[in-house]
Structure 1
């Protein structure tokens, strides 16, 4: 086999209007006669620069939590300084201080899926009893692993981007990653999905399926990747990739969950019971609705009503995305569909925790890599991030109304960050309908993450349907001309 020829990569300062303007103080964008990707960069390779940027982001993430690292996570301190994290409080509240494997024993009350429970347990194992702040040590150990996974996500995103590897810099320095990545263990599932996207792009469907199964056993949203795969299989008629990916995902999920079910079925189902029965979570559409209802003296929505309404809304979104994926003039890119499905899930989910933003950041970097829109979205997410902690502070502290964040301001922040996600979805939909508006396809790529679907034509039934619709439209125009 002949060696692979290095590919010329897209230079952000040439292609992105915002970055082009930023480079004016440095002498302007890179010259047209250079060939990044084909010339030797020396020590500062693209991936080394991305790793360095991610390390800077991780250090900023630690600094953002330093007020709690110094003053503790008790009382209102996490809300005053916006340094909240689930990790230290759960170390004691869920029994990890006494038994590292507390989620897997009788009477467990750890409300997370199996692999997230396992991660929480494994990282609690080295935190042995002693004369030191054990919850802080637990937090620091988890943050060290989060930083390593963050680097992995950036590198996998870069390698999934084809000729646009620099788009992964969005993931490396995103304010949302800096502020929210250390709230919980969500980045483990983010890394699994990023790995699945990379594996699928290289036609390793079994590995992609395994990573989807592992990610779903950590947090549910990676399973939504299969929705994008089935839409492209329907459009192209290539079902083998969907079959192998789905089978591998199911096998991996069962392999992870079955032992936990056998050890303690009651402990295993805590997550599912908690998810079904919990009320509307912070910053969700449903919590904003209930906050407004409380303010005007109306009754809020129950957990059962939210379950039904949220499921139906998400189902309608998925149906719309599927129709769009089939009828769009050109086959959509895989990651465009993944982003739309995951974003719909986030918008109508019962919970929209602040850390959910890190689910979307790598997807946006691949689906709509435009720095202006990305930075505006991140600014709104930062405003929402501080709004929710200010809102929780005024709920837990005895404050005068003049010193508190009004519920209306918090609701506006919730609608603003949801509105920005809708805006990004709209941009992606537009780029699907008009491929010339797609930043990825404009640089001469079809679908870097498409794997088996990259370069595929439409299935025969779609061609027949289009021919039928074209003939019907022509016939109607002919009849109209004759009558006139």
Structure 2
């Protein structure tokens, strides 16, 4: 924030953000409307749930993970009934469960109340994420967060799971880093990782740009703060509820190939090696290769890449090589994709692919899980949706790589901006590049 901005009353500075907040509220409300057919009873009938495209994890997990009766980490329940999420998210679920039980006596009514209260939290998280993203984007790109506020893919996926909470924390981390507030940035990053695991990919992005600029002190302060925040919320559960705490990590390691992943296609089609190998090893190897490529690109580019570009590439690589790619994962990528390359053509193409996948997965489950061939779709049609996402995200990655190698093509930098989210990286000179090794 400049000294001129600091002298402007905060109310005046907030006025330009008001329309974005209202659009985000509209998106949150539309997401609620999408699931009304299920909220009024459809969740108790899978055919109704899938044909109305209104599935959510929130309602069934209230019962299946014992939130109606017990703490998700300390409960004496079978391992497969424990909450398979990091502790911040698990305790958010627990607190909302307590409120639901206090407000309703009937367990079915508690489940609906649990959903409604969770939706309020997620809606507020969407609004917060949009406003924080606008602050990150800066005044020249202030309207770009509309993609996060009201894009159809976000509206459709918003309330499948709790991902919007991690999204708000991630945007808060990015804004704190932009404003060179290293301790708050680290705390928010640590909390984001303790909510959903994917923000861990941003550590690599910060490290690579630190390596190029040699701005080690801010990086180390941020990482120390992130580690402290992560330990502060995890350590009590590690000590007093080890089995409940480790459920997420065991589940992530042992989980097989699931919906949305390219590995499911390879298995379904019986591809050699890719279809019959150890997917955990193959996925990790593919991620390492892609991250190595991102590292080489970051250190070899003629001009230091923007932080949002590297975060986007790292997160997209993580999603594309994962064993599972759920419909709600679109919420992870939207803000970083827009900050990395706010080009409407590629974003529209990707959003159409995400919408098609959202429709296809529920129609496919009608066939696969319920045997309703008359209502659902088969393997080949479903896998067009799987590859639609992979290809369109791959195209966006290719354009971001092009922008990094040819900075004059970067629409953000055409506004005489170096790195709108870079913080200490903004306008920082290079200290280490691959080219410097051969001099």
User: Which category describes the TM-score, using the shorter chain as reference length?
Assistant: over 0.9
Which residue of the partner structure matches residue 321 of structure 2?
348
Which residue of the partner structure matches residue 79 of structure 1?
50
Aligned equivalents of 2:213 and 2:185: distance in 1? 19
Listed as ranges, the gaps of 5+ residues in structure 1 are 7-37, 469-484
- The 5 Å alignment of 1:254-269 reads 254-269=231-246
Which residue of the partner structure matches residue 451 of structure 1?
423
1:97 to 56, 68, 73: 68
Measure how far apart 1:96 and its partner are: 0.9
Aligned equivalents of 2:375 and 2:97: distance in 1? 39
Quickly say closer, same or farther: Cα 1:98–1:419, change in 2 above 3 A: same
DSSP-derived class of the 2:43 partner: coil
Aligned equivalents of 1:433 and 1:102: distance in 2? 48
Measure how far apart 1:42 and its partner are: 9.4
Does the 8 Å CA contact 2:300/2:435 hold for their aligned counterparts?
no
Q: What is the Cα-based RMSD across aligned positions, in Å?
A: 2.4
Does structure 1 residue 143 correspond to structure 2 residue 119?
A: yes
- The 5 Å alignment of 1:354-365 reads 354-365=327-338
Does the 8 Å CA contact 1:46/1:166 hold for their aligned counterparts?
no
Measure how far apart 1:104 and its partner are: 2.7
Deviations 1:429-479 (A, max 9, x none): 11111111111101110101101111011116656436x2xxxxxxxxxxx
1:334 to 307, 325, 344: 307
- The 5 Å alignment of 1:230-241 reads 230-241=207-218
2:381 to 382, 403, 409: 409
Aligned equivalents of 1:46 and 1:178: distance in 2? 23
DSSP-derived class of the 1:4 partner: helix
Which residue of the partner structure matches residue 4 of structure 1?
4
DSSP-derived class of the 2:4 partner: coil
DSSP-derived class of the 1:351 partner: coil
Measure how far apart 1:372 and its partner are: 2.1
Which residue of the partner structure matches residue 69 of structure 1?
39
- Name the count of aligned residue pairs: 429
Does the 8 Å CA contact 1:391/1:410 hold for their aligned counterparts?
yes
Which residue of the partner structure matches residue 306 of structure 1?
279
Quickly say closer, same or farther: Cα 1:228–1:406, change in 2 above 3 A: same
Aligned equivalents of 2:2 and 2:326: distance in 1? 49
Which residue of the partner structure matches residue 19 of structure 1?
none
Measure how far apart 1:102 and its partner are: 2.7
Which residue of the partner structure matches residue 411 of structure 2?
439
Listed as ranges, the gaps of 5+ residues in structure 2 are none
Quickly say closer, same or farther: Cα 1:284–1:463, change in 2 above 3 A: closer
2:144 to 146, 158, 167: 167
Greater gyration radius:
1
Aligned equivalents of 1:236 and 1:396: distance in 2? 52
Measure how far apart 1:121 and its partner are: 0.5
Q: TM-score scaled by structure 1?
A: 0.84
DSSP-derived class of the 1:138 partner: helix
Which residue of the partner structure matches residue 89 of structure 2?
116
Does structure 1 residue 419 correspond to structure 2 residue 394?
A: no
Measure how far apart 1:92 and its partner are: 0.6
Does the 8 Å CA contact 1:176/1:378 hold for their aligned counterparts?
yes
Q: Which moved more, 1:438-447 or 1:236-245?
A: 236-245
2:198 to 194, 209, 221: 221
Q: TM-score scaled by structure 2?
A: 0.93
Which residue of the partner structure matches residue 10 of structure 1?
none
Aligned equivalents of 1:63 and 1:334: distance in 2? 36
Does the 8 Å CA contact 1:87/1:183 hold for their aligned counterparts?
yes
Q: Which moved more, 1:374-383 or 1:329-338?
A: 374-383
DSSP-derived class of the 2:145 partner: helix
Q: Which moved more, 1:231-240 or 1:343-352?
A: 231-240
- The 5 Å alignment of 1:287-306 reads 287-293=264-270, 301=275, 305-306=278-279
Aligned equivalents of 2:434 and 2:249: distance in 1? 39
Aligned equivalents of 1:412 and 1:62: distance in 2? 28
Aligned equivalents of 1:379 and 1:259: distance in 2? 44
1:179 to 137, 153, 156: 156
Aligned equivalents of 2:424 and 2:254: distance in 1? 40
Does structure 1 residue 278 correspond to structure 2 residue 259?
A: no
Q: Which moved more, 1:72-81 or 1:221-230?
A: 72-81
Quickly say closer, same or farther: Cα 1:2–1:76, change in 2 above 3 A: closer
